[in-house]
Structure 1
Amino acid sequence: MTHGEVYPAHQLMDGPVKLSVLDWTTAAIGDPARDFMFHHASVSASAFENTSARSVDAGGRIWPRFADHCAELCSTPPVELGLYALQAGAPGHMSAARIQLNPQK
């Protein structure tokens, strides 16, 4: 189970240890790295490593080159938006996805 958008706007902190995560509308069965990709993109490497290690200590699983995987996931939102646009039949979203996928035009 993944949340899919774990970033500061979806987090409530109660001191340095307790974290609550809001807005589970993007939850899915899928790639657990999705819950780390924004963290990887926005914090130091040591903070990312500490967070990953704490996740493993709590029963989570990561794999070799996990950080690289998280970095690569940051490039997928335009494709995901295009897929959503196709499923929803939303021309405005399709136009936005096209612009993001080919910003030179």
Structure 2
Amino acid sequence: MLTVTDNARAVVEDLAQQAGIPSEGGLRIAQSIGQPGNFELALVPAPQADDQVVDEAGATHVFVEKEAAPALDALSLDTDPEAQGPGFVLTPQG
């Protein structure tokens, strides 16, 4: 299952708070339509019915689309220190 670093959790919480996302909402990761192997990240007010909830430790959550979950199983969501503004990266767990 996808894991979430403390740095990524803090950024998700900050972004969700700025966007006014309710506490049951969070960051949703889904496969990109038309771009196999790419993922789209979006702040959502609640998960979809078949989403995997992968992080419930923070004030907000991280959800993974059912179809994207197998591709993300051995990865970790982290922040990108070189990004201009909030950026996320997927890295191998371990």
TM-score, structure 2 normalization: 0.26
Hey, which of these two has a bigger chunk of strand by percent? 2
> Which structure is higher in RCO with an 8 Å CA cutoff and minimum separation 6?
2
TM-score (norm 1): 0.25
Structure label with greater radius of gyration: 1
